[in-house]
Amino acid sequence: MILTDVLGSDVVDNSGQRLGEVSDVRFAVDASPGQLLSKARMVGIVVSPRTASSFLGYERRGITQPWPVAQLLRWRHRGSFLVLWEDIAVIGPREVVLRPGFTAYESTLAF
Amino acid sequence: MSKAKRIHPLKIRPAPRPAGLVLDAQLHLLDRQMLDVDGVPVSTVDDVELSGPEPDERIPEGAEAPVISALLTGPVLGTRIFGGRPPSSRLIRIPWSVVAGVDTVVKLGVRSDSLDASWVERWLRHHVIPRIPGGRHDPH
């Protein structure tokens, strides 16, 4: 699977109701760092209800400067959430279908 | 495109924090410069290849999460402007197993000469640069 095929896909729940678009895919490198990085497993997808484009991740990080830009981008991505891999039923270039009773998590990164 | 159903903010829970390094593909990987072990620029990350699942195939419950198998680079300028993406065969793979770190740049743990991604540079070095007067020796 190629990542950019998934970015921008519509995200729907199991009843077909549209929830937004895939704005990013989150990975975690769990094992302790060595000379080379260990496997990066997919944690989940970041869903944005309005736009798939993300500019510098203002909405996911604690960046507040320049203030008007930070406010605008945070407002544009309001309602973004993270869906874990376990809650994804189908993933494809046209749409991503979530499992019934999926859980929405905050999409912010630790900062 | 229909309007998206809104998830009530109170239903959005705090996310579990993985212990290790967390990477958001768009933020931390795509379009980043790749440097080899000597700090020589190799290319940029144009796309990422994941192991399974097949697109549009139902994922069985409890299936293992996909992992990044390779970083991809290739001729993407045209498709960025006009849409779509180049066929997979035109993209050059840099296996994730040679990635040493992700920061403002993606650091690789091998020399660029060992990677397919630098073939254009190698070809120019062997076929074009030697034909330029003074191109066969170090500058004085």
pLDDT digits (tens, 9 = 90+) for B31-76: 999 999 999 899 899 999 999 788 888 999 889 999 999 999 988 8
CA atoms within 13 A on the CB side of A19: 26
Q: What is the mean pLDDT of each run of 10 residues along chain A (111 residues)?
A: 89 91 90 77 90 71 79 80 93 91 86 57
DSSP chain B: -PPPPPPPGGG-BPPP--SSEEEEIIIIITT-EEE-TTS-EEEE--EEEE--PPTTPBPPTTPPPPBEEEEEE---HHHHHHSS---GGGSEEEEGGGEEEESSSEEESS-GGGSGGGHHHHHHHHHTGGGSTTTTS---
In tens, the pLDDT along B67-113 reads 999 999 988 888 888 877 888 888 889 999 999 989 899 999 988 88
- The minimum CA-CA distance between A65 and chain B, rounded to whole Å, is 17
Residues of B within 8 A of A108 (CB-CB) are 15
Across the interface, whether the CB atoms of A90 and B54 are under 8 A apart is answered no
Across the interface, whether the CB atoms of B27 and A2 are under 8 A apart is answered no
**B114 inside 8 A of chain A by CB:** no
Domains in chain A (CATH in brackets) are: 3-31+38-106 (2.30.30.240)
Q: How many CB atoms lie within 10 A of CB A91?
A: 28
Residues of B within 8 A of A27 (CB-CB) are 22-25, 68
Residue of A nearest to B53 (CA): A1
Instruction: Tell me the residues of chain B between 52 and 91 that have a Cβ less than 8 Å away from chain A.
Output: 52-59, 61-62, 65-68, 72, 85, 88
Domains in chain B (CATH in brackets) are: 24-52+64-131 (2.30.30.240)
- The minimum CA-CA distance between A79 and chain B, rounded to whole Å, is 7
